[in-house]
Amino acid sequence: MVVTLLIIAFFSVRSPYFFTLSNFLAMFHTMAPVVVAACGMALLVIGGKIDISIGSIALLATSTAVILMLDGGVPPVLALALALLVGIVLGALNGLIVTVLGINPLITTLGTMIGFRGVALQMTNAGTFPLPDSVRWIGNLTVGPVNLDVLIALAVVLAVHYIHRRTAFGRHMTAIGNGEETARRLGIRTNFVLFAGFALSGFLAAVGGAMSVLQVSLLSTSVGRGMEFSAVAVVIVGGISLFGGRGTVWPQLVLGAFVFQLIATGLTQIGADPYAYRVISGALIFVAMFADALKARRRRMRAIAPETLPELEQPGLQENASVQR
């Protein structure tokens, strides 16, 4: 929170347009798709897993919907529902590969990231497709001064936070993140929980992709590009441990996304070098990962400290040794 306030103060001094209501509402509007996609990523990371295919899922799901609308005459509502279904199916496929075949989730989703995007590019012939006039207005729909997608993103964040903190599924995901084998011995159906987590991640990736397409009223190959890395960055900077079992969606995830959007918007408004954002973002991610690693090391040391003490340093043994002498 202190870092966030310092960033706001710095850019507010440098740019007269930064600390305005319209600018902050525009930032919330821009970051909404990544926040939604990062919610699914966050649950998986808390469970000790990761899904870097969410950007490709977003592209393939939205490509399916747009092509159905343009070439098949499918009503927009039905096309959106099918896009979300595609997201669930693709996420479930990741879950099956990880849980049934036992392949590492990073390797699994790296492969599906490439494969899903390839299917989408072949489906669209790597072209661009303007949305039908009947749906273009949705991307800029507002409720008062706030864009509708901001309210949707907030609803998703609160729903995922509730799932994580208040349901058996969320508690089981945290338990798996703290030790999958231990969770299995406690009777948790680890494979089912992880499968559901990947399916939910695919669903939210499709939602984020649909929001991205609606914002620009255009389907292009840039949809979802880099979304997976933005989501991982948001999760890390938001304080959710990559080692699993630690962190919350609200407010940590939102603060992480907000920090990155503050930096991107602020640098643009002060006319900074366009590559400065990558440097600063990379440094921020490194610092957050280093802090996470230090915390994990301290937790491990506290857990094993009693077992590693020399025998004569343990309570009660010193007295026995002195009596024997």
Rounded-to-integer distance, Cα 26 and Cα 268, Å? 13
Q: Do the Cβ atoms of 113 and 56 come closer than 8 Å? A: yes
Percent of the chain with pLDDT strictly greater than 90: 74
Q: Tell me the CATH number for domain 7-304.
A: 1.10.3470
**Tokens in use for 126?**
């790597």
pLDDT of residue 223: 93
| Consecutive H or E run containing 106 | helix 105-124
H or E element in which residue 6 lies: helix 2-14
Q: What is the mean pLDDT of the chain?
A: 90
pLDDT tens by residue, 86-100: 999 999 999 999 999
Residue 312 has pLDDT above 80, yes or no: no
Mean pLDDT of 181-203: 96
Enter the pTM of the model.
0.89
Give backbone dihedrals phi and psi of 113, rounded to 5 degrees, phi first: -60, -45
Q: Does position 22 have pLDDT exceeding 60, yes or no?
A: yes
pLDDT of the residue at 288: 86
Question: What's the confidence (pLDDT) of residue 306?
Answer: 52
3-state secondary structure of 218: strand
174 band by pLDDT with thresholds 50, 70 and 90 = very high
Q: What is the pLDDT of residue 303?
A: 67
State percent of the chain over pLDDT 70.
Answer: 93
Q: pLDDT, tens digit, for every residue of 221-244?
A: 999 999 999 999 999 988 898 888
Q: Does pLDDT of 321 surpass 50? A: no
Q: What is the pLDDT of residues 271-311, one digit of tens each?
A: 988 889 989 988 988 888 888 888 878 877 876 655 544 44
Q: Which stretches of 55-174 are assigned E, i.e. beta strand?
A: 129-130, 142-143, 146-147
- Coil, strand, or helix at residue 51? coil
- What pLDDT is recorded for position 319? 44
What is the predicted pLDDT for the residue at 324? 43
**Average pLDDT in the 112-136 region?**
93
pLDDT beyond 60 at 203: yes
- Residue 313 burial class via C-beta count within 10 angstroms: exposed 0-12, middle 13-18, buried 19 and up: exposed
Task: Write the pLDDT tens digit of every residue in 36-76.
Answer: 999 999 999 999 999 999 999 999 999 999 999 998 889 99
